[in-house]
Amino acid sequence: MDNRAEIREFLMSRRAKITPAQAGLPPAGRRRVPGLRRIEVAMLAGVSVEYYSRLERGDAAGVSESILDAIASALQLDDAERRHLLDLVRTSGATRAPRRRTPVPRIRPTVQYVLDAITATPAIVHDGRLNHLGGNALGKALFSPFFATGDEQPNSARYTFLDPRASEFLRDWDKAADDTVAILRAEAGSDPYDRNLSDLIGELSTRSEEFRTRWASHDVRIHATGTKRLHHPVVGDLDLSYESFPAPDQGQNLLVYVAEPHSPSHDALNLLASYAATPRQGGSGEAPSAGREHSTDRSD
């Protein structure tokens, strides 16, 4: 991942999304490209067009945070996009480090104890690459299609784009796919030298046209709160809200899923909890997964 190219493509993609009217500028006749011109971004940010053009070429040397804030305001970046721009500039100024493989991530025993103590609602822990590192009993039952892939650490990005059954489980597949790519894009900006992450992105780009198309959009997102609409193989449709909390170990997050009290989804979660707690042959209380085979491309 060449950060100069990442800065250039990110800024160009954000500039293309803002119309003169959205920026409070008068119409300026016919345009060859959508969005704002460089000179208009520079004017809105209070910098010279030469300065902004240099930054958009990926030359971020010496750019102050106040200038970046001004450019972010001119481009109407949200919090996730601002953070991503700062990450790109920060890592572009560092001495280029060799890509490194990180150890297989684990959750500490005390984190698992915390998960196990959460009994009334699903809870899982994942890392920035969207590896599912663990969960409580109800979390594993809820995401049984993920946890039953046969992988030591199932990855929700691989599942979303490479498993042909993903669109059955994820009722809002397009939204889930957009969110997944945006989370990985933000993670890549934060740590561009993570070999495991670049390998994952390379694998998904090679095997999924759906992923490639979304990756090229340069959208980023903070995975803090939201909704999941699932079709569970045992209890049917679920509409859940989630909150994400930073786990003690860097890069890991605890996600807790809840249903609106007295709703059909709340009843379905209670049913799933009873199902998961029922002993079965082999001693597993987890809900069965719909069996899967790996696909080379979800769009096949």
Name beta bridge partners: 100. Answer: 194
- pLDDT for the residue numbered 153: 83
Cβ distance 218 to 9 under 8 Å?
Answer: yes
Domain 3-92 - what CATH class?
mainly alpha
Q: Which residues of the chain have pLDDT under 50?
A: 95, 282-297, 299-300
Q: What is the pLDDT of residue 150?
A: 74
- Which pTM value belongs to this model? 0.85
- Check residue 193 and give its pLDDT: 85
pLDDT at position 97 is: 52
The pLDDT score that the predictor gives to residue 292 is: 37
Contact assessment for residue 125 and residue 111, using Cβ atoms and an 8 Å cutoff: yes
Residue ranges covered by each domain of the chain:
3-92, 109-277
At residue 99, the pLDDT reads 55
Give the pLDDT of residue 248: 78
CATH code, 109-277: 3.30.450.180
Strands, sheet with 132-135, edge to edge from the N-terminal-most edge strand? 132-135, 123-127, 252-258, 236-246, 225-232
Distance in Å from the first CA to the final CA of the chain:
27
